[in-house]
Amino acid sequence: MDSNNRDDWMTNGHGVFIDIHDTLRPYEDVTRFFRKVERDFDRRAYCNGSNTRGRWIYQIYSIEFIRNLSNLIERVYVASHSSGPILEVMAGDGLLGRFVEQFSNHRIISTDAKTSRDNIGFPKSVIRLDALSAVTEYDPSVVVMCWEPFYSDVSLEIVAGRKPVIWIGDPLSCAVSSDIHRMDHIAHHSPYLLGRHDNFTNRTFRTVVKIFNQE
């Protein structure tokens, strides 16, 4: 098959790149998509809403990444010896939790303060609660944080509360002035981590996963 025909799904009829998160796709397709974005358009502009749905994108999802994360959440949940729920804080549009639920027996409670900091469309399924209030409200067994804001230090306060925390993000772009990056943690190594600041053509990837307070 001609390579151009293989890539037809990547744009709509007007040549605008699709929202890569309109469905979960294989890792190979996602990385090929972003190489084309870098070659023919602009990755930063794309992730800042220049796509068919106007979606802002931070962590970039694939089937393999979500399956890997779902398995990690289950392991941390079992090790917690707690019956509390799985809580995602600073969840944005809640898409991560909805994708994880496709591979998990757990419901993911997604919460966000729902400020106007970024142009994010918040569905009703995302509960309006700031991160600290959400932890107090739900007493979770596991807290998931994905792309904590640039100057935030909220993760430090949550980790100090001894709840197991799965922190996902780019240390050069998330909580950059916080001591969270110097806290004891377990690094979770996944080959499927992708973020908005990665260079797909040069294969330079910056996203990490850190686990705090795992027994």
Residue 161 sits in the same domain as residue 100: yes
Digit-coded pLDDT (tens) for 124-157: 889 999 999 999 999 999 999 999 999 999 999 9
The reply to whether 54 falls in a domain is no
pLDDT of residue 21: 97
Same domain? For 118 and 167 the reply is yes
- Residue 6 has what pLDDT? 83
Of 17-31, 90-104, 107-121, 137-151, the least confident: 107-121
Question: What are the CA-CA distances from residue 95 to residues 42, 90, 107 (Å)?
Answer: 23, 12, 13
Average pLDDT over residues 179-199: 96
CB 38 within 8 Å of CB 51: no
Q: Confirm whether 166 is domain-assigned.
A: yes
116 pLDDT higher than 90? no
DSSP-derived letter for residue 11 is B
- Side chain identity, residue 207: T
Average pLDDT over residues 3-23: 90
Number of domains into which the chain is organized: 2
Task: Please tell me whether the overall predicted TM-score, pTM, comes out greater than 0.75 for this model.
Answer: yes
Residues 125 and 186 in one domain: yes
- 59 pairs with which residues across the strands? 195
Both 76 and 118 in one domain: the answer is: yes
Give the pLDDT confidence score for residue 94 in this predicted structure.
93
Domain that holds residue 29: 3-47
Same domain for 36 and 122, yes or no, is no
Task: Report the share of the chain in percent with pLDDT over 70.
Answer: 94
pLDDT tens sequence across 59-78: 999 999 999 999 999 999 99
